[in-house]
Chains A and B, each alone.
Chain A
Amino acid sequence: MKKNKRYWKGLEELRNDPELVKRADKEFPDYLPISESKRNGEEGSSRRDFLKMMGFGISAATLAACEAPVKKAIPYVVKPVDVDVTIPNYYASTYLDGGDYCSIVVKTREGRPIKVNGNDLSRVTSGGTSAQVQASVLSLYDKQRLQGPVANGQPVSWSELDQNVSAQWRSAGGQRVIVSYTVLSPSTQAAINALVEAFPGTQHIMYDPQPADGMLAANKAMFGKAVLPTYDFSQANVIVSFGADFLGTWVAPISYAKQYATTRKLNKNKKSMSRHYQFESNLSLTGANADYRTPIKPSQEGLVIGQLYNLIAAKAGGSAANFTKTDEIPNLQKAANDLLNARGASLVVSGSNDPAVQMVVNQINQLLGNYGTTLTMDQASYYRRGSTAALERLVQDAQAGRVGGVIFYNCNPAYDYFGAASLVEALSKVKVKIATSDRIDETSALADFIAPDHHYLESWNDAEPQQGQFSLAQPTITPIFDTRQAQSSLLTWAGSSETNYYNFLRSRWRENLFGTQSEDTDFDRFWDRALYNGVLEAEGTSLLTAGADDSSFANVGTSVAALASTINNNYKGGEGVELVLYQKVAIGSGRQANNPWLQEMPDPITKTTWDNYLTIPQSMASEMEITTKEGFTGLVQLTVNGQSYRMPVVVQPGQAPGTVGIAVGYGRNRAGKVADQLGVNAYPMASKVNGSFVYFNAGEVTVENLDEEYRLAQTQTHETFMGRETVIQDAVLAEYQEDPKAGRFEYELETSEGPKPPEDISLWHGHKYPNHHWMMAIDLNSCIGCAACTISCQVENNVPVVGKQEVINRREMHWLRIDRYYSSDEVSDAKEMEKASANPEVVFQPMLCQHCNNAPCETVCPVLATTHSTEGLNQMTYNRCIGTRYCANNCPYKVRRFNWFKYHDNEQFAAVNVAMNTDLGKMVLNPDVTVRSRGVMEKCTFCVQRIQLGKLEARKQGRRPQDGEIDTACAEACPTDAILFGDANDPTSKISQLINEETEGRAYHVLQEIRVSPNIYYLTKIRNKDQEETNA
């Protein structure tokens, strides 16, 4: 028998360890987690635990794969001394854009400028702002800005650029020229002068897209100074303006609007107001506010002014001149009479750029004795110092090859100069071209070197808008990109010993302005005070001078007889169509065209956004068989001087028959994604009269209907208020003087106890407001419709921009809109009432949430997302809103806005709503206000975040909030103080005093009879017209 072989599995088995024997019959070792449950306190995990762990592990791993949103809230490692998180800082500064000026206070949060307000300390702008100023903070965060210096299309370093520029500038043969807009900053002028001095023979040319050469030339001839006068509209009882849109776009509208509004305000103690005549072709913002407005053709303008001169001269002792007679001009005689009755307290202005015409205007003001009262040459204004003639000469010189180098200092003549095409052509013959533009625009695209300037909110600067009125600009943020202050660039290229512009500026203030005051003996204290205030008054000191090149202004005689023949030659008033250029309140000359807030701001007159268009009179529309409805309009072909343009039309009531209007500032090619290809560039359409470029063309202009449909993005398509007297209540001054309630529509309901006002009948018990009761009053008389409030609201409250298509879909988001109504001829027939008069009366009505005490929106919300606060506010709880839109339907004022789409972080809106779609753009958002999500309703909150902040600040100091401490963004921005906000429970507040005074006077509720009991009062519109001439 064979011996059995033995195999063993391991040494343990061979040795027959007791351990092994013990475990031999067990298939699985004990420590494996296979038992169903732990055995009496045994360590280790059960199979169930294993499953649990695996389940958790898998789900955790899966969840981890989902991308969590990256929050970019990075805490300060070292807290800057003057930055407290969530607490805003305010810095006084200056808005400067060519010759446009505004003294401002910049609100910053965590080092980011987020809002621009007016500076109350400024005597020039007195705390007023404009839409352009309000919107400028977004231009800071414009992604289209250059992120560093560029040489020949390639990014370079600053030192490289400086080397190249210095070398090339030095070696540039021929003439060297610096081109800029009007320079309003004395220190900038000094920096330019430094470069001029470093390279003797260098010329500095200033020009303005909205030129005032005519006025400068006239003033030079009459007063020896090529400067603008300083106007004081507040002293004028009678104002006659010929095409000068001084409330909207002409020279310094913020200042003028402020002054003008003081003459338009009425109250118990002041029952008189100025009378305003406007003679113009396009319906301008100013014309819309006039008491008497007469449409005239631009080719008549000189003659009409001449006739006014004759009418005045006949009674005021001047010599009459032989101006060609025109057809009877309505209201001209009346204007002359009123002017004569208000000698020394009247004002005639003209927007003409013809020196001869401006000279006649000067003569009229002289005859009326207005110099020294309503306007003065003793205090020069420097808003316009440019000479288009000088730029014209540059083009000729360049074409002739005489120019070796050009520096374009923050200007864009390849776009906004009337002869841009010839300039572009001529530039090819210039060897060295340098630009300091902040982006690759039409001009800098042609430049060899671009040394991008800071945005004004990143810059140091100063300004002298009027003689003796100085202001400082200070950076409110560290430069976002690798840009450099243009003045530093100029100083560097000049080889100056001081190239830091801040030091340069400081030393200039030390030299020139420190000595003008005696308040501070220490310069640092003086500097700090000036910087803190933002403004400095130094009576009698002037650092700026007249236009850079005085000799370039046309020679114009003062003899009216000679002027008459010049004017008669130039103004013949043909039969053809005449084209009038104008600036839009929002877009202006087009420098901020890439700002979507401005593009989407409805034009105060046409209520159109995102476009320019030809405004045509009603008569022309019916001739050409063009009808417009709901933004649907026709395309026309406009031919000017042989050049054709396709553009849509707007049938504009008030447009002078035989004229058409078009806004400049559009048709940009290289402004950026927002503005490019919008509209048509109208600058080349300008013509020359008497040697000056003028904003009209009475030459060969034809308009041809193309019979093609086009849709404009208009926010208001209905023109009249349909005779609804509870909406617009107006009267004429004489009626008001007799009865302060003149024009009020006092509705009474029939009841069993006789007629009663709706206030007396209610099913509701009303709300109790034990603490505050916020109310607002809007004075329709001083509201000029400029829409600064609309933009201010948009900035403050993170209101999204929706773009052209969504405006076409009637879904703009503005919380505050300005309703513009025209009067109609017919007062009974509903169909006829829809048509505006040919030359209508215009009324502007800011419309925002009325914060009704019996709010119809509040009762219908199924989820209580909109409720009433104990302070009278109608509140929106965005988080609770499910978006039924019932509240918006039931709002009689239609002020609620719905988030139809997700406007933030959405590719669809990235191009237009830049403030909510890029990291850079989002820096402008107000952190105190929620960015609303899709599907929720939003509306005016009365700036509840400001109310809360004001109350908290007061509580910290153990007191009640003071009147004026808490203000809404709209009221704050208003250049005419037409909006008043405050606590009606505070008997000393302005608002409660106003309500006390005016409830038996001009104060009314819109739609009073439906008894929603709004918290906003409107004050009736009073026109200074003669009684019999009013349109009902």
Chain B
Amino acid sequence: MLALDAARSAGAQYADVRISRNRVQSISTRERRVQGLSDNETFGFGVRTLVGGAWGFAASSDLTRDEVARVARQSAAQAKANRAALVKPVVLAPAPVTKDGTWRSPVKTDPFDVPIEDKVALLLAANEAALKVQGSRFVNSAMFFLREEKTYANSEGTFTVQTIYRASPTMTVTAVSQDFSDFQSRQSTDIAPMGRGYDHVLDAKLVENAPRWAEEAVQKLSAKPVDVGRYDLVLDPTHLGLTIHESIAHPTELDRVYGYEANYAGTSFVSPPEEKLGKFRYGPEIMNIQGDRMQDGSLGAVGWDDEGVQPETFLIIKNGIVNDYQTTREQANWLDWWYKQQGKPTRSHGCSYAQSWADVQFQRMPNVSLLPSEKNLKWDDLIAATDRGIAIVGDGSFSIDQQRYNAQFGGQLFYEIKGGKITGMLKDVAYQMRTPEFWNAMDMIGGKDSYWLWGAFGDAKGQPTQANAVSHGCPPTRHRGINVINTGRKA
């Protein structure tokens, strides 16, 4: 409150303050040893002010009364400096006031209450299980936990307190050929990071899964190099989540669409909104893409975003057509005409986020998910329906252009499909795609029983780059006639 008062006295029409305490614990191992064990805490606050339509932001780790007032004034002074080149003033869309909100991630066991010995023992047992597999040479495994206690207040009267958790257990097994001519790794991409507690680590069953990952790494050494060409692709949710992230979630960020990220993350082919909303066919009729910050255990789940807005669930793509974009309070007004046309209120979807107290909040993606089809198809049904194709499991190498047209994706495991059956393992596979063609080539979507939440910690955007954590839910899909290249070369 002191910060908000000081900001108002310094001329701010609007101000908000975030105070956060982030505790992070990470444990990393390789083979039979612990490589790193760290426990980190950072505590501080950031004040954002709006003066004459321009933003200012300042932050400090010193929470004394004098410093809080100084930082609030510094934020307002910066906003005044930033007004110098102002062309279009910032106007915030209205948001309901939450006077006293509390929210907590759905955590059964707080990871910081679990003894270190138990965590170390679990990782080393998993490593041992992987090393028992003939041919597996190296194993890296790790656990990462975050607990963020975040208090938010703004000058309109909103006040919220949230406790957000994230947990990520990971493992990579590497096999090296006898003559040192090849090495192949298998990452545990079927275990996604989640907005859950230690219960997620236990559910991941690292010890039980480790031998399979090791066997798959060894198998990759003798897999058949892929023949280049066009194939029908059957994509597992452990792979598809990343493709959704890059080719749907990023291009529907509204700040990119309006050029705000042109210098780094890029712009978007889904622009201008006047020509895309309600008109542009992204994919087939069966394709529905939802934005939300609600799904149980998802990384994007919160009670309120970083400008005090309760997020809502919204359809970004409806029956294959572009229907909405991801927004903050500043951006919702840019689509006022569309919401009026649809008979909807103009409000933020709740997509404001900052990675820490030291960083300014801006538009970040919520969970962006492909909804399952009504037919309850499963992975095996998609394989059985495919005559000549490649099934891809797990995400691997990925790259996409700055407007999100041209992408190239690898994976963890590749299987040849012939006559509706998996006939063997392939390697050196990557597919190249143009986003609208790739999604319009989708002709099968799995049902709700095969829906799975993929997740990532490292969603990067902004300058300075801030890391966002999001989940992308999806069932398996099939895409017809996609261009596959062979990435193997001789050194």
Q: Do A and B come from one complex?
A: no
